[in-house]
Amino acid sequence: MVTDQQVRRLFAMQNKYEYQYQMADVAGISSKTAHKYLKNGKLPSQCKIEHTWPTRKDPFVDDWAFVEQLLEDTKATLEAKTIFEYLQRAEPGKYHNGQLRILQRRVKAWKVLYGPAKEVFFSQIYYPGQWACSDFTSMNKLNITIAHQPFEHLLRLLHNTYSVHSRLVGETVKVHLYADKLQIWYAQRHIETLPRLRGENDHCINYRHIIDRLVRKPGSIMSS
């Protein structure tokens, strides 16, 4: 599998070698692969197509509108297992026990995308480094030189802070990073686009992400 690092190295070799096979050797990839990436000028991560389509037929497609209505009427308090057992009783033989996990995934995704807001907790205790978390990445594999001498060093990354809707508390999202924006994905759905912050220790907080809870507990923001 070709990595972004290999292709970046390939691009960096364009002005140093005359033939593509030489650049390919330095990058550690085949000449055919080097030709493909030199032609389109993109990194492997930029060529990936986000998988947003189902790989198999949804067994709950006939009853999903009913399930959604149940979730809305009960404010998403029903568990997927309870709904599944009801469907089994209502239509004997239509659903087998092995399909419970499919419904659980669908119900979980619905609650995150369309359900009620989750509890937002503003901690009153702050720990050193919490608001300025940083990572160090070794740059030695890039073979950077200064005056023809290897320059071994670490790159420090100081994180910026972004907010997403409180329904995503405790969930894992996928972030697509672009030059001017961040795309947030959950359950194979593009759910939000945020402006990319430049610099260090900045923040992009949207109060609409937590307004539902602030309306219920307005004192939480005053004491946070």
Q: How far are the Cα atoms of 213, 214, 222, 223 from residue 217, in angstroms, in the given order?
A: 6, 5, 10, 11
Give pLDDT tens digits for 177-205: 887 888 999 988 888 899 888 777 778 88
**pLDDT tens-digit series, residues 10-37:** 988 888 888 888 889 988 999 999 999 9
pLDDT at 153 (0 to 100): 77
Tokens of 161: 């802070």
Using CA atoms, how far apart are residues 200 and 221, in angstroms rounded to an integer? 25
Higher-confidence position of 107 and 131:
107
Q: Which has the higher per-residue pLDDT, 55 or 85?
A: 85
In the DSSP assignment, the letter for residue 42 is -
**Residue 46 pLDDT class (50, 70, 90 cuts):** confident
220 pLDDT exceeds 60?
no
Phi, psi of 106 (to 5 degrees): -65, -45
What is the rounded CA–CA span in Å between residue 196 and residue 137? 21
What span, in angstroms and rounded, lies between the C-alpha atoms of 209 and 192? Answer: 11
Model pLDDT, residue 176: 86
Length of the chain: 224
Where exactly are the structural domains of the chain? 4-47, 64-114, 134-222
